[in-house]
Structure 1
Amino acid sequence: MSTDVFPGIRLYLMRLVCKQSVLTLKELLTGCLSSQIKKATRFYVKAIEKSSPLPIISQEEVTRHRSLKDGVWVTYQGGVYDITEFVSIHPGGEKIMMAAGGAIEPFWSLYAVHNQEHVLEILSEYKIGELKAEDLKKQSTFKSSDPYSSDPERHPALRTNSLKPFNAEPPPEILADSYITPTAFFFKRNHLPVPQVDPDLYRLHVEGLPRGVLTLSLEELKTRFPKHTITATLQCAGNRRSEMNKTRQVKGLNWGFGAIGNATWSGAKLRDVLLAAGYGPDVAQWARHVQFEGLDKEITGSAYGASIPINKAVSEEGDVLLAYEMNGKDIPADHGFPIRVVVPGVVGTRNVKWLGKIVVSAQESSSHWQQKDYKGFAPGIDWDTVDYKSAPAIQELPVQSAITTPAEGSVIDRSEEMLTVKGYAWSGGGREVIRVDVSVDGGKTWKEAKLKSSDKEGDQTSPPLGRAWAWKLWEITVPLPPEAQELELICKAVDNSYNTQPDTFGPIWNVRGLLSNAWHRVKVKISEDDDEE
């Protein structure tokens, strides 16, 4: 029998216990409640007792409950909880709805205040079942002709741009809430089905060097080479494409401003592996590129591939990793398990996932994604005149910033008097963001935001010159203009080479909608305080 036999009684009891926390259940049943409430309460308690053990519920069923109309269900450590009644009294407001239909752990890792005993006690009141074991282990035995049938599960809060291949970004309002982006909410950019890789059978092949092919197992990669950790931001070349689309139609996934994330990455340095494979001064005479090939393949059998300049690959300051950990844990399937290349300061597409092969070469990768995509063109070039050979492949990205809160179209209560604006800023090539300018009047006047270099309060640590791989979060609080009914908020970042963002998208428009980094603009309205009437 469901524990929600009498949701009204349950809510009544919950509110009464909140007000009279010293009362026991026995006192509630024998106290001054009406006979009808007593009778219903006793029936409710018996229903709970009879319902043990709790029913087994599938993730598919949980996912169906993502609204107040259908119910709001979440999972936590194998349990399923119906928190519909709690949504209206949640201290964090409607952000709890982003967890609807999925796991709540990623949100609790982001908002660590939840990791307290009394919060767990509140949650326990809403438990309705246990998650199906197969779903809990995230092991799928289903196979079909669909090459995407074995793709991993994703958190339902992600904003999906395409299902096959899967591409999604986090809810924008939480993007700048944590300096380190929780793995579950890190944007997903896949070009092909996610490959299934057995870590025990995995082998990495390093080719193109005088000593022949060097083959490494995952264990050898972990034990033969020192482990290095960096914090680095990855950004898709199409981040903020949706804004460029408004200027003139482009081709590509309609990314918002969430195709970016900041994580800690651990693994072996690419430099160390290349040296072990025979890279030296003689090779440096002719080598110009390092090619990467993934284990994700098209139906034709051709693999995803990309390449980076040899100087970036072998530089001690380049910090290129063959990463096997993300945010302190094994890299998950969507992000390249068991090994991905992390090329800090360089466009995300060169950070090849599910790495299977490395080739030192005099030529760039011949891959489609190196030769006929991810290149920038002049605004006057269209699909009839584009010549991919005429432009170099994108490597380092330009300076970027965006406003994450408040959201476009938000209504600000004038009685609050002050407005807090938050966002992120980053620049490619290891260039450090040194300033973020914010305007609340459409660019007429500007104020400088406070930058944040970590989750530590007041931390203003600067990275070594040329190795600023991670983003800066920023924040500013300003008074609401007394007469304004609508505000146009704008942000623009400046890096330590004094590069700044262009004010509009027209001059940087290109057919693929790449390198979209014009000033970010958000319009909000101000509501009048009616209390004076």
Structure 2
Amino acid sequence: MSLWEKRDDMLVHERDPYNAEPPRAALAGRRTTPPDTFYSRNHGPVPDLDPAAWRLTVDGLVERPLELSLADLRERFGEHEVTATLQCAGNRRAGLAEIRAIPGEDLWGPGATSTARWTGVRLADVLAEAGLRSGAAHIAFTAPDVSLLAHPPQPFGGSITAEKAVRPEVLLAWAMDGRPLPRVHGAPLRVVVPGWIGARSVKWLTRVTARADPSDNYFQATAYRLLPPEADPAEAGPGGITLGPIVVNCDILRPDDGARVPSGPTEVTGYALAGGGRTVARVDVSVDGGGSWTQASLDGGDSPWAWRHWHATLDLPAGEAEITARAWDSAGAVQPESPAHLWNPKGYANTSWARIRLTCA
């Protein structure tokens, strides 16, 4: 195992802070992602918190402010599980960087997406115990990992709407896949916000604050905003869209991009994910740039908050081939064709058609 008990073939974008994704094939065919394979996105040094001394503060627009230990959470609230996929807002950024450079950002491939079975308590139950006051429209999260990316440096944080926060799928989680959270994934406690960008599932959680307005943390107010192409990414500026629910997306996991494969029948597999409470309805695969499509078979579907794996068998002629995939969600939305139409200064939300190139012998 390499750093943070991750597999040796992780694609490491940065070592400090640690940011890494697994190779495509490591995600193929897995309904959940082992902790050693799960992508890791960090904005500062990974904190080392003592679970025995750790406390969660619940404050702001509440009737009864709370201070809770892990034992309090386990004893006072019912335990729940949810299988959910987390996806970094910068997933597939490398595709946008092929259109135009994105300085200062890690060039994530399709592996900044992973799925786990999360265990903890519902945030809704904790907020009910605290008693949300009138005007509490947003729930903010604070962690102790100080990031130098913020100006000035500050702990990571963010917020979600109160409407989402009281949904039953939103957890304060202490375990993934039946084991205590690894330190790099947020131990002793993290938020899991299914269907929203991974940045809102704040790790190493120490404070939950009910507010009238969204968090003013740098990573809510300035970063993780979809900016117009001409905007300065160092400023929030007008026209920026705060990222929350994710948009339908898919990618190809096997064969790998650039692989040599035999000509003839070839199985192509990948994942698809729909956010915001929608589900994946269909995945289409093409070998002629979208001139014609083959409908893929969908696996899974056990959790509305998790990805679905898909597979299709394509007859590939000898020579160079490009495989294209697109997903549709239950609202009828489909991925746009070109990353050129989606380019933005931070390289967020590349939901364009997935593409790999193969050599068929």
Short-chain TM bin: over 0.9
TM-score (norm 1): 0.65
Structure 1 residues 173 and 193, CA gap change in structure 2 (3 angstroms): same
- Distance of aligned partners of 1:241 and 1:218 in 2 relative to their CA distance in 1, 3 Å threshold: same
Deviations 1:347-385 (A, max 9, x none): 000100000000000011111100111111233x24389
Aligned to 1:320: 170
> Residue by residue, what CA displacement relative to the aligned partner does 1:447-497 show, whole Å, maximum 9, x if unpaired?
0111011xxxxxx65x5xxxx21000001112233xx41111000000000
Per the alignment, residue 476 of structure 1 pairs with 312
5+ residue gaps, structure 1? 1-101, 104-150, 454-459, 528-533
Q: CA deviation at 1:175?
A: 1.1
Aligned amino acid, residue 311 of structure 2: E
- Identify the match of residue 266 of structure 1 among 113, 119, 130: 119
- Higher strand content, 1 or 2: 2
CA contact (8 A) 2:220 2:242 kept: yes
Indicate the percent of aligned positions where both proteins have the same amino acid: 39
Q: 2:286 aligns with which of 419, 434, 439?
A: 439
CA deviations 1:186-218 (Å, max 9, x no partner) are 000010111111111110000014434200001
Cα distance change of structure 1 residues 328 and 309 upon mapping to structure 2, 3 Å threshold: same
What is the TM-score with the length of structure 2 in the denominator?
Answer: 0.94
Where 1:305 maps in the other structure, the secondary structure is strand
For residues 506-532 of structure 1, the C-alpha deviation after alignment (integer angstroms, 9 at most, x for no partner) is 1111000100111011111111xxxxx
Is 1:516 the equivalent of 2:350? yes
Question: Structure 2 stretches of 5 or more lacking a match?
Answer: none
Residue by residue, what CA displacement relative to the aligned partner does 1:422-455 show, whole Å, maximum 9, x if unpaired?
00000110210010000122222110111011xx
CA contact (8 A) 1:442 1:490 kept: yes
Question: 1:351-500 alignment to 2 at 5 Å?
Answer: 351-379=201-229, 381-383=230-232, 387-414=236-263, 417-453=264-300, 468-481=304-317, 484-500=318-334
Select the residue among 282, 285, 288 that pairs with 2:137. 288
Name which of 110, 113, 131 aligns with 1:257: 110
Counterpart in 1 of 2:33?
181
Larger radius of gyration: 1
In 2, Cα distance between equivalents of 1:313 and 1:259: 24
Amino acid at match of 2:120: G
Q: Which has the higher contact order (CA 8 A, sep 6+)?
A: 2
CA contact (8 A) 2:61 2:136 kept: no
Rate the CA distance shift 1:246–1:362 in 2: closer, same or farther, 3 A: same
1:12-411 → structure 2 map (5 Å cutoff): 102=1, 152-251=4-103, 252-279=105-132, 283=133, 285-298=134-147, 302-316=154-168, 319-379=169-229, 381-383=230-232, 387-411=236-260
How far did 1:298 drift? 4.2
Count residues in correspondence. Answer: 357
Q: Tell me the amino acid that sits aligned with residue 289 of structure 1.
A: H
Distance 1:443 1:506 in 2: 16
> Would you tell me which structure has more helix in proportion to its own residues?
1
CA-atom RMSD, angstroms? Answer: 1.8
TM-superposed deviation, 1:257: 0.7
Contact kept in structure 1, 2:140 and 2:214, CA below 8 Å: yes
Q: Distance in 2 between matches of 1:497 and 1:474?
A: 19
Contact 1:424/1:473, CA 8 A, preserved across alignment: yes
Q: Confirm whether residue 525 of structure 1 aligns to residue 359 of structure 2.
A: yes
2:225 counterpart SS class: coil
Amino acid at match of 2:81: T
Contact 2:233 2:345 in 1 (8 A): no
Taking the aligned partners of 2:114 and 2:78, their CA distance within structure 1 comes to: 25
Kindly indicate whether the alpha-carbon contact (under 8 Å) linking 1:375 and 1:388 is maintained by their aligned counterparts in 2: no
**Secondary structure of 2:213's partner?**
coil
- Structure 2 CA distance, aligned partners of 1:210 and 1:328? 32
Asked if 2 retains the 8 angstrom alpha-carbon contact of 1:371 and 1:389, the reply is no
Poorly superposed stretches of 4+, deviation over 6 Å: none
